Amino acid sequence: MSCDHDLDAEYLHPGDVDILEFHEENDELHVKLALPCPECSEALELDAKVESVEEGDFELPLSDELYD
């Protein structure tokens, strides 16, 4: 079974996503995400490059409520 659905931000929810790992490629920070395809529920791995890092406006430690 394979999935070639285009991922639509409208159907992606932070609560459905797990962070698998951080890693570096060419001195750039990447983050690997695990999530189910919203269309077919296939297990997907996303590799995303971190484009920017800024101070966030939230309390630490992070709570699960942030992801609801």
- Closer residue to Zn ion, CB minimum distance, 3 or 48: 3
| Binding residues for Zn ion (CB under 5 A) | 3, 5, 37, 39-40, 42
Distances, alpha carbon 34 to alpha carbons 27, 51, 53, 60, in Å? 22, 19, 21, 24
User: Contact at 8 Å (CB) between 34 and 20?
Assistant: yes
CB of 44 to Zn ion, least distance (A): 7
- Closer residue to Zn ion, CB minimum distance, 7 or 20: 7
CB of 41 to Zn ion, least distance (A): 7
